[in-house]
Structure 1
Amino acid sequence: MSEIKQISECFIKPEFEIEDSKRQYYLNALQLSLLQLNYIHISYIFKKPSNYSPLSHLKKLKFSLSKALVYFYPLAGRLETAQSEDEHSCLIYVNCLKGPGVRVVHASVLSIDICHVLSTNSDVPSILGCLIDLGEGQVVNYDGHSRPLLSVQLTELADAVVLGISVNHCVVDGTSYNHFHQTWSHLFMGSLSSSMSRPLIQNPAVKMPYLDPSEFLSRSASHSGSQFRERFFHFSVSSIKNLKAFVNKESLRNGTHEPVSSFKALSGFIWRCITRARRINPSELTSCTLPVNARPRFHPPLSQDYFGSYYTRAKASAKVGELLENNVGWAASLLHRALLSLDDKAVKTLFERAFDEGPQLLSPSLSLSSNDVVVAGSNRFNIYGPEFGLGVPVGCRGGYGNKYDGKVNCYLGNEGQGSVGLELCLEHKTMTSLLLDQEFMAFVSYQNSDSNLISRI
């Protein structure tokens, strides 16, 4: 691959300080549990306009970013730790005024085109990692003490423009990040109205029972392109409808009368297909985990505008043989019941226990069982809405962050609501087996989600 050329870098602060930004932003216990994991990495790929002026575009990006940071001011700060030797504890929080701000990088690699980036070849991960600042797998959320909490990289390709985002997962979850991204886009386009929601930023302080990071911080090995294969699969609107109908028919045959949503149907389907492709012992356990936005599960529900990470996890488990002997409707029903169990009482208990007992730090992703599947992200986030003056994105991809065998990232498909794009990371032999799975491929519309959209532009 041709070497990427960095043209410039700078740091962006909020356009002006507000009184709230002078206070510390405390991380809740569930946010602190992510300290050992990677940043969120995501890149938006745009077709390059014929009259594209990178310097003019970059100037407008930085100006609108400074405006967005007025409302999302923690993203411009840095993590800070206050130690208490008497209690043998520490308090990690965001100092919203510390540090130079959000890093913005301008780069180019004109020898690469849009089809190269959106292909499913084995060298794609190395390309995508170069298009995202802080995209290397060694950077973890704890590094927000010395690294920007948000970094933006604008890269010009031969026929495309890529907006690469790296954001500290301790500070935002998918819902908060999506809120910020949508607001930034509206400000860029000059369409932010006074009626648009602003983030609600508040958390109680949570102490950790450690004095030094050496007591809790460990790092996983960086993502290796030779260790895993990554593929992007597209499920069209009609394919998802057919899959949902198929799964619900099987669920009804199993005696389950509660309808299963499209996302649960797809997650159960993916779990079962990946497990079959792994060819593991039927007596072993397998699980499927779905990170879930907890805000609407409280009663009354929390506002979707609450900044930070308000998430939990739904997990379904079964023996491999049991999962494969039963139909996909059975697998989807397990996930359905796991999600139903996350009611107001369950999520309140989770947050109260985390606050009382302190954060339970998640181990680096690569230490998960090789039998597990994690379906992260959401097709509810409108990734094709924010345009930044470049029109509708032709694709969206992740970087190195939190990639491991069995990780599935879910995006809205390029046909809009109802379609889904899935980014799968699997061991080489498992991916090869999955690509030969007739049941799986029968529902896949095409492997390169964005080829049809490119041809229409």
Structure 2
Amino acid sequence: MATHPAVRHISRCSIRAECVADESNQPLHFNPWDLSMLNTYYIQKGLLFSKPPQTNGLSIITIIDHLKDSLSRTLVHFLPLTGHLVTHKQDNPPSYSIFLDYKNTPGVDFVHAVADVTISDVFAPIDVPPIVRSFFLLDKAIGHDGHTLPLLAVQVTELLDGIFIACSFNHVIGDGTSYWHFFNAWAEICRMGKGKHDHISRPPVLRRWFLDGQDPIINLPFSHHDEFIDRYQPPVVLRERFFHFSPQSIARLKAKANAEYNTSTISSFQALSALVWRSLTRARHHLPSHKKTSCKLATNNRSRLNPPLSLEYFGNCIQAVNASATVGELLNHGIGWAAWLLHEAVNGHSDIEVREGLELWMKSPYIYQVGNFFDPCSSVMMGSSPRFDMYGCDFGWGMAEAVRSGSANKFDGKVSSYPGREGEGSVDLEVTLPAETMSALESDPEFMDAVSPSQYHVSCSSFPAKIK
């Protein structure tokens, strides 16, 4: 995607780890969860900050230099982000394996950019404005591109009254938990000041986890990457919009879902996801009642394994759990019925299920492709998580104003969930839909009655009023 004309790149450089540990002499082998992401777009998330007061010599150049220095010291702890992918192939016996190598590494791309826009220009439009996509590097890059592209690229964009810090993070290297672990560590080191890279509060666990007895060198059933790469692009232009849900609104949804199904075990997020699933299905007027629809939830496997993996495990450790029903079934029942389907799907995702899934993958390896994994016309994919500590990323300037994402991994029915800025269980949902479907969602009484006014400092008067 072309850079927005209002965004100008001022400088570009490569950042390397300040010092390199001994483990860089050995390649890092990927497990099935990592390799499944070879066709997945880079994770693109970023934080928008009010510009720090430029006093006591704290100029923007000083800020940029400090971000570069602290990034170099952070990479000491997150060394896989400095490597590159390598494919090893041989014909006799046939072998095709992909691993991470640290030799001749390209480093991490770092770009300082300037945009002649304000924080209000980012917030005020109903839809996420196109300029936000130009705050991110490596647009349209997928995991396999890490053979030739950096595994991490950072763009720091200076707005007229703010700073946007955006990372494009190769999904083969890690999942959302790993992404925000890195982002928080970088912010922590930036706050600590120069020369204090030896200690961070949450050192990552870099050693990859494998099933007991599994050979870490996985032979993939391919002879060329064209056999598993499919760069999916939505067939129509999509709208992207944020919806805010206050703690009180979330509590009401949870109470309603549990009361309808006469239970107390449906979680807040399951109730919210059920609302989204039913509302998006209703907004897709063209769906016949017998059509199958599903709601997938990205689920962290770290705590589901027995024994559990450390929360600091740095890599991919996620799977999608799935609930499905016909359109008629979903819409003829209430939110409690849909939430219970999701509850059962999550509750059934145990250590046994996780290990059986990995064993099946080893027998028949596959790489995720949107077209094969998800029906973008009739289903919902709930990604990211309101549990990620996004607003804890304090670089020394205070809490971010908002989180935003790039164009990666966007398709009809993709919903990314983030914590609300005020905390206390609030949630922001980033919804991606075709224009007609989005308009129908904005006119859906049940959905809009649960949506709360935005807590951001920009006036919410530009947002459509709730329908009572």
Name the TM-score, length of structure 2 as normaliser.
0.90
SS at match of 2:261: helix
Which has the higher mean CA deviation after the structures are superposed, 208-217 or 279-288? Answer: 208-217
Match of 2:80 among 59, 74, 82: 74
Match of 1:7 among 7, 10, 31: 10
In the TM superposition, residue 42 of structure 1 has moved relative to its aligned partner by 0.6
In the TM superposition, residue 395 of structure 1 has moved relative to its aligned partner by 0.4
What amino acid maps onto 1:357 in structure 2?
K
1:116 lines up with 2:121 in the alignment: yes
- Aligned twin of 1:64: 70
Gaps of 5+ in 1: none
- Aligned twin of 1:248: 258
- Aligned twin of 1:31: 34
What amino acid maps onto 1:169 in structure 2?
H
- Aligned twin of 1:237: 247
Query: What are the within-5 Å matches in structure 2 for residues 44-443 of structure 1?
Result: 44-51=47-54, 53-110=59-116, 112-122=117-127, 124-134=128-138, 136=139, 138-190=140-192, 194=199, 196-203=201-208, 204-221=216-233, 227-252=237-262, 257-279=263-285, 280-354=287-361, 356-357=362-363, 359-364=365-370, 368-369=374-375, 370-443=377-450
In structure 2, distance between residues paired with 1:105 and 1:195 = 25
In structure 2, distance between residues paired with 1:367 and 1:244 = 29
**Aligned 8 A contact 1:12 1:101 in 2:** yes
In structure 2, distance between residues paired with 1:364 and 1:85 = 30
In structure 1, distance between residues paired with 2:245 and 2:102 = 41
In structure 1, distance between residues paired with 2:359 and 2:72 = 35
What amino acid maps onto 1:131 in structure 2?
F
- Aligned twin of 2:466: none
What amino acid maps onto 1:128 in structure 2?
V
Q: Deviations over 1:194-245 (max 9, x none)?
A: 4723222223222211121122222223x68x61111101101111111111
Match of 2:43 among 40, 43, 58: 40
In structure 2, distance between residues paired with 1:194 and 1:46 = 26
SS at match of 2:187: helix
- Classify 1:366/1:299 alpha carbon distance in 2 versus 1 (closer, same or farther; 3 Å): closer
Name the TM-score, length of structure 1 as normaliser.
0.92
Task: Give every structure 1 segment of 4 or more consecutive aligned residues whose post-TM-superposition deviation is greater than 3 Å.
Answer: 119-122, 191-195, 364-368, 451-455
Gaps of 5+ in 2: 209-215, 462-468
Which has the higher mean CA deviation after the structures are superposed, 367-376 or 12-21? Answer: 367-376
Q: Deviations over 1:253-291 (max 9, x none)?
A: xxxx35111111101111111101112111100000001
> How many pairs are equivalent?
443
**Aligned 8 A contact 1:125 1:400 in 2:** no
What amino acid maps onto 1:140 in structure 2?
I
In the TM superposition, residue 140 of structure 1 has moved relative to its aligned partner by 1.1
In structure 2, distance between residues paired with 1:364 and 1:125 = 25
What amino acid maps onto 2:85 in structure 1?
L
Q: Deviations over 1:101-131 (max 9, x none)?
A: 1110000012x11111123445x35211100
What amino acid maps onto 1:198 in structure 2?
P
What amino acid maps onto 1:321 in structure 2?
G
In structure 2, distance between residues paired with 1:87 and 1:172 = 31
SS at match of 1:297: coil
Which has the higher mean CA deviation after the structures are superposed, 1-10 or 160-169? Answer: 1-10
- Classify 1:118/1:334 alpha carbon distance in 2 versus 1 (closer, same or farther; 3 Å): same
In structure 2, distance between residues paired with 1:120 and 1:357 = 49
Instruction: Name the Cα RMSD after superposition.
Output: 2.0
**Aligned 8 A contact 1:120 1:232 in 2:** no
In structure 2, distance between residues paired with 1:439 and 1:7 = 47
SS at match of 1:177: helix
**Aligned 8 A contact 1:75 1:96 in 2:** no
- Classify 1:74/1:358 alpha carbon distance in 2 versus 1 (closer, same or farther; 3 Å): farther
SS at match of 2:365: coil
- Classify 1:277/1:406 alpha carbon distance in 2 versus 1 (closer, same or farther; 3 Å): same
**Aligned 8 A contact 2:38 2:143 in 1:** yes
- Aligned twin of 2:23: 20
In structure 1, distance between residues paired with 2:267 and 2:12 = 44
- Classify 1:41/1:371 alpha carbon distance in 2 versus 1 (closer, same or farther; 3 Å): same
In the TM superposition, residue 387 of structure 1 has moved relative to its aligned partner by 1.5
What amino acid maps onto 2:222 in structure 1?
Y
In structure 1, distance between residues paired with 2:399 and 2:313 = 27
**Aligned 8 A contact 1:294 1:311 in 2:** yes
- Classify 1:104/1:208 alpha carbon distance in 2 versus 1 (closer, same or farther; 3 Å): same
In structure 2, distance between residues paired with 1:229 and 1:87 = 49
SS at match of 1:91: strand
What amino acid maps onto 2:353 in structure 1?
A
**Aligned 8 A contact 2:124 2:458 in 1:** no
